[in-house]
Amino acid sequence: MLRSRRSVLSAIAAGLVVGSLALPTSASALTLGFAQVGAESEWRTANTVSIKEAAKAAGITLKFSDAQQKQENQIKAIRSYIAQKVDVIAFAPVVTTGWDTVLMEAKKAKIPVILTDRSIETKDPSLYVTMIGSDFTEEGQKAAKWLLDNYKTPGDVNIVELQGTVGSAPAIERKKGFEEGIKGEPRFKITRSQTGDFTRAKGKEVMEAFLKTDKNIQVLFAHNDDMAIGAIQAIEAAGMKPGKDIIIVSIDAVKGAFEAMMAGKLNVTVECNPQLGPQLMTVVKEVKAGKEQPKWVKTVEGVFPMETAAKEFPNRKY
Ligand code: GYE
């Protein structure tokens, strides 16, 4: 009796050994389904490059899709990853709400979900393992702080705002942070605010419309560099000097912003780091290995005023 039990145990042990011997191959063949927002900005392009390169370096098979800034496309992509039985799903949610149904489907299929870059609103936080990305509220606060510290001309300061994609975490939170930051200083007022969908073309278009109806604009706050760069073109076309006649504050700190700062056309950019790929791959492996994750892996970032641009430019990676 005892003997046979022992032999069962050793058979199990042998099985475990075989199982663990087989592990390295199966671990290196992890498949990650990644549903990207789109290709709307320089930031996004850098983010995509980071994810693709990091997956390759980590030996993770990547299935990648571009949702062209549409939630329905991201939902379709996530469903197809579930159908393909990938090991892990990651995505940068284009907007904050409306994810519960598809994430429930992933949960039922026992596929862990990691959020990158943008957060979601959900009553059930167990629908995702962790979120890797920036503190957008803090970025908005940093933009406001730079403005209050540096805008010395007396009188009213009329600020026009170019918002990011409607309903996206960075648009909601950057706005909130910036508003909190200027609250105590009544001469700083947001006089116009509209979405430019995080793109150059839209940033230009909306700034043109602002300038047509409003001659009294002192500051532009753009939720990202691409919209600021589009707006710079509109300001120049209206015969004004961007960076002087209108002070421009934006977010991301991509190379295009450094070029604009070196040309004296953009006053400051608050950093938002798109290079989330390596962190994501580490988390993918750890999640599959059963390691607990914090609910938010925060990115560390700085602020770059115009005067620092030439010195910093050669060090920029995106
Ligand atoms: O700031 C913007 C991009 O979600 C942080 O999305 C990202 C934002 C980034 O389109 O340029």
CATH code (residue 92)? 3.40.50.2300
Place of tokens 């789109």: 38
Q: Is residue 1 part of a domain?
A: no
One domain for residues 174 and 107: no
Structural domain that includes position 200: 136-272
Distances, alpha carbon 85 to alpha carbons 29, 81, 258, 317, in Å: 13, 6, 42, 34
Q: Is residue 68 part of a domain?
A: yes
Tokens of 206: 């909306």
One domain for residues 151 and 251: yes
One domain for residues 105 and 226: no
232-255: average pLDDT? 98
Q: How far is the CA of 224 from the centre of ligand 1 (A)?
A: 7
One domain for residues 128 and 141: no
Q: How far is the CA of 14 from the centre of ligand 1 (A)?
A: 51
User: What pLDDT is attached to residue 28?
Assistant: 57
Q: Is residue 266 part of a domain?
A: yes
One domain for residues 152 and 238: yes
Q: Is residue 284 part of a domain?
A: yes
One domain for residues 256 and 287: no
pLDDT 10s digits, 49-98: 999 999 999 999 999 999 999 999 999 999 999 999 999 999 999 999 99
Cβ-Cβ contacts under 8 Å for 189 (sequence gap 6 or more): 156, 157, 158, 159, 182
Cβ-Cβ contacts under 8 Å for 219 (sequence gap 6 or more): 147, 151, 157, 158, 159, 160, 246, 247, 248, 249
The per-residue pLDDT of the chain, averaged, comes to 93
Q: Which ligand 1 atom is the nearest neighbour of the CA of 136?
A: 5
46 lines ligand 1 (CB under 6 A): no
One domain for residues 126 and 178: no
Q: How far is the CA of 43 from the centre of ligand 1 (A)?
A: 6
User: What pLDDT is attached to residue 213?
Assistant: 96
Give the residue from 272, 292, 313 where a domain finishes.
Answer: 272
How many domains does the structure of the chain reveal?
A: 2
pLDDT at 146 over 90: yes
Q: How far is the CA of 282 from the centre of ligand 1 (A)?
A: 22
One domain for residues 212 and 145: yes
pLDDT at 256 over 80: yes
Q: Is residue 176 part of a domain?
A: yes
User: What pLDDT is attached to residue 103?
Assistant: 98
User: What pLDDT is attached to residue 20?
Assistant: 43
Q: Note the pTM of the prediction, 2 decimals.
A: 0.90
Taking Cα atoms as reference points, which of 153, 158, 151 lies closest to residue 188? 158
Q: Cβ(178)–Cβ(221) under 8 Å?
A: yes
Quick one: 42 exposed, middle or buried, by C-beta within 10 A (0-12, 13-18, 19+)? Answer: buried
Q: Is residue 88 part of a domain?
A: yes
296 beta partners = 131
Give the residue from 232, 253, 272 where a domain finishes.
Answer: 272
Amino acid at 210: F
pLDDT at 27 over 70: no
Give the residue from 255, 272, 289 where a domain finishes.
Answer: 272
DSSP state of 307: G
Q: Cβ(191)–Cβ(159) under 8 Å?
A: yes
pLDDT 10s digits, 203-243: 999 999 999 999 999 999 999 999 999 999 999 999 999 99
pLDDT range class, residue 25, cuts 50, 70, 90: very low
One domain for residues 258 and 282: no
One domain for residues 151 and 267: yes
Amino acid at 173: E
Q: Is residue 162 part of a domain?
A: yes
DSSP state of 242: B
Q: What angle do CA 100, 105, 109 make, to 5 degrees?
A: 140
31-38: average pLDDT? 98
124-131: average pLDDT? 97
44 lines ligand 1 (CB under 6 A): yes
Q: Which ligand 1 atom is the nearest neighbour of the CA of 118?
A: 4
Q: Which ligand 1 atom is the nearest neighbour of the CA of 225?
A: 11
Q: Is residue 78 part of a domain?
A: yes
One domain for residues 104 and 219: no
Separation of alpha carbons 245 and 160, rounded Å = 13
One domain for residues 120 and 239: no
Cβ-Cβ contacts under 8 Å for 58 (sequence gap 6 or more): 278, 281, 282, 284, 285
